[in-house]
């Protein structure tokens, strides 16, 4: 099989390629990535030397490059996106361009080249926000209610994907997943930011009252979910993927990290809240569990400990990532 992976130099895309190359060594992987601040070819350095991986340095909004890359491809797995909510608040335009226009360019090319499957990687943020005491959770039937420019751009891309399935008969699947964590995550997101700050002896910035709730999904569990959807998922269907069954708020997550690293709560710092901050996400992943047999392989605590170990062992990787332009971003975001 020949796959086109978009955004394969980013966090989840790179984890997907590393997993796929190991478990499907006969497949050919084309990896199209623009290498924005979040794209890093070092994430793929551990690919086996014989891996059938070709890197294409291109922007998914570039129709000519996309058509060339898709010709002859069986399956497209679409990760490429602007992915950070805070950046979407300070500068929304790249989100609309990459997430909406870029997805549309890919869809057009998929129809023209008759790809057998377009798999779209989306987010639970399209569903909006739940209150802390709300008994409801997000599932495949939840009405869309995006509340940040990032979430709105991802919702727009989801709608386009479904419209192309209905209108042009494009064989699609979608996964809406929760907050990923694990190796190679850019340290602008809460868990890698917290781990690396603590390892540097710096404080962890906690937005607002810290009682915001996310559903946490280990990246390898997510990658296996996508594999199952590609292999056994029903064409046209959406699957929600989450990692937890019980709420845990940001303060509790940070406290766990501090405890594992043997540090005290003096390394937390309450900072200005995110505008329009979604209070709570909660995922119901019954469908993918019942229909495809997927479930997380370990508990959150086990995966968190493994993740912390990875960041401890890969200081060089994150020290390089946290140098240069990252410093300007951090200064602007946290003052
Ligand atoms: P990331 O920001 O780490 O990586 C994004 C990758 O896309 C980078 O390599 C970047 O260079 C590339 N890219 C950006 N714009 C591009 C363009 N115009 N053309 C080609 N490449 C481009 O993101 P991630 O966390 O790996 O997320 C991957 C996907 O998963 C995204 O679609 C995101 O919306 C979705 N998602 C992420 C999470 C999460 O917790 N990280 C949760 C749910 C869904
Ligand atoms: O829910 C899935 C989404 O998860 C993905 O679609 C996004 O691509 C991904 O970025 C992530 O979005 P969040 O906004 O939930 O993730 P982030 O790591 O930025 O924040 C997680 C929570 O932690 C959120 O409540 C905000 C809070 N936070 C975040 C940062 C960066 C802090 O308290 N301090 C921080 O410094």
| pLDDT tens, position by position, 240-252 | 999 999 999 999 9
CB distance 180 to ligand 1 below 6 Å: yes
CB distance 153 to ligand 1 below 6 Å: no
Ligand 2: centre distance to CA 148 (Å) = 12
Q: How many CA atoms lie within 13 A of 185 on its CB side?
A: 25
Average pLDDT score over residue span 216-228: 98
Q: What is the percentage of the chain residues whose pLDDT exceeds 90?
A: 99
Residues identified as active-site: 124-125, 150
Per-residue pLDDT at 325? 94
Average pLDDT score over residue span 199-225: 98
| Integer CA distances (angstroms), 147 to 39, 120, 152, 160, in order | 26, 20, 7, 18
Q: Assess whether pLDDT exceeds 90 at residue 329.
A: yes
By alpha-carbon position, which residue is closest to atom 19 of ligand 2?
189
State the Cα–Cα distance between residues 65 and 38, nearest whole angstrom.
Answer: 20
Average pLDDT score over residue span 169-187: 98
CB distance 182 to ligand 1 below 6 Å: no
Confidence of residue 270 (pLDDT cuts 50, 70, 90): very high
By alpha-carbon position, which residue is closest to atom 43 of ligand 1?
123
- What is the CATH T-level fold of the domain 2-334, as seen in this structure? Rossmann fold (3.40.50)
State the Cα–Cα distance between residues 256 and 89, nearest whole angstrom.
Answer: 29
Q: Contact, 76 vs 82, CB < 8 A?
A: no
Question: Among 124, 207, 256, 268, which is best to mutate for testing ligand 2, by the most ligand atoms less than 8 A from CB?
Answer: 207
Q: What does the mean pLDDT of the chain come to?
A: 98
CB distance 61 to ligand 1 below 6 Å: yes
Residue among 122, 100, 98, 93 at smallest CA distance from 35: 98
Average pLDDT score over residue span 94-109: 99
Per-residue pLDDT at 231? 98
Would you list the domain boundaries of the chain?
2-334
Ligand 2: centre distance to CA 206 (Å) = 11
Per-residue pLDDT at 198? 98
CB distance 304 to ligand 1 below 6 Å: no
By alpha-carbon position, which residue is closest to atom 36 of ligand 2?
205
> What residues does ligand 2 touch, defined as CB less than 6 Å away?
83-85, 123-125, 178-179, 189-190, 193, 205-207, 212, 214, 250, 274, 281
| Integer CA distances (angstroms), 224 to 39, 235, 236, in order | 22, 18, 19
Question: Among 127, 250, 307, 326, which is best to mutate for testing ligand 2, by the most ligand atoms less than 8 A from CB?
Answer: 250
State the Cα–Cα distance between residues 77 and 10, nearest whole angstrom.
Answer: 13
CB distance 10 to ligand 1 below 6 Å: yes
Confidence of residue 1 (pLDDT cuts 50, 70, 90): very high
Per-residue pLDDT at 335? 84
Q: Assess whether pLDDT exceeds 90 at residue 217.
A: yes
Ligand 1: centre distance to CA 263 (Å) = 31
Average pLDDT score over residue span 226-231: 98
Average pLDDT score over residue span 55-63: 98
pTM: 0.99
Tell me the per-residue pLDDT of 74-87, one tens digit each, with 9 for 90 and over: 999 999 999 999 99
Question: Among 37, 38, 60, which is best to mutate for testing ligand 1, by the most ligand atoms less than 8 A from CB?
Answer: 38
Average pLDDT score over residue span 175-192: 98
Confidence of residue 324 (pLDDT cuts 50, 70, 90): confident
Ligand 2: centre distance to CA 207 (Å) = 10
Looking at the CA of residue 208, tell me the nearest atom of ligand 2: 33
CB distance 73 to ligand 1 below 6 Å: no
Name the one residue in this structure whose structure tokens are 């798999």. 119
Which ligand is nearest the CA of 253, by number? Answer: 2
């Amino acid at each position: 099989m020949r796959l086109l992976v978009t955004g394969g130099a980013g966090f989840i895309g790179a984890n997907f390629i590393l997993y796929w190359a190991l478990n499907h060594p006969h497949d050919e992987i084309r990896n199209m990535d623009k290498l924005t601040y979040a794209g890093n070819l070092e994430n793929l350095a551990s690919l086996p030397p014989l891996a059938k991986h070709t890197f294409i340095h291109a922007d998914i909004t570039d129709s000519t490059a996309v058509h060339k890359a898709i010709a002859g491809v069986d399956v497209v797995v679409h990760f490429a996106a602007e992915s950070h909510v805070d950046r979407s608040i300070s500068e929304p335009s790249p989100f609309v361009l990459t997430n909406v226009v870029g997805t549309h360019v890919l869809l057009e090319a998929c129809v023209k080249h008759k790809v057998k499957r377009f798999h779209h990687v989306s987010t639970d943020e399209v569903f909006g926000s739940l209150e802390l005491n709300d008994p409801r959770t997000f599932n495949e039937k939840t009405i869309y209610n995006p509340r940040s420019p990032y979430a709105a751009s991802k919702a727009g891309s989801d709608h386009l994907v479904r419209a192309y399935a209905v209108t042009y008969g494009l064989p699609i699947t979608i996964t809406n997943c929760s907050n990923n964590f694990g190796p190679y995550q850019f340290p602008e997101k809460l868990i890698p930011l917290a781990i690396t700050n603590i390892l540097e002896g710096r404080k962890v910035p906690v937005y607002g009252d810290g009682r915001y709730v996310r559903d946490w999904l280990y990246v390898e569990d997510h990658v296996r979910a996508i594999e199952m959807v590609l292999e056994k998922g029903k064409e046209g269907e959406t699957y929600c993927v989450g990692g937890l069954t019980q709420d845990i708020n940001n303060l509790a997550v940070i406290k766990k990290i501090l405890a594992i690293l043997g540090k005290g709560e003096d390394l937390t710092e309450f900072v200005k809240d995110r505008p329009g901050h979604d209070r709570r996400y909660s995922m119901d992943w019954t469908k993918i569990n019942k229909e495809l047999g997927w479930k997380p392989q370990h508990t959150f605590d086990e995966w968190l400990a493994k993740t912390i170990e990875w960041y401890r062992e890969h200081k060089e990787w994150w020290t390089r990532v946290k140098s240069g332009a990252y410093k300007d971003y951090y200064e602007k975001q946290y003052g």
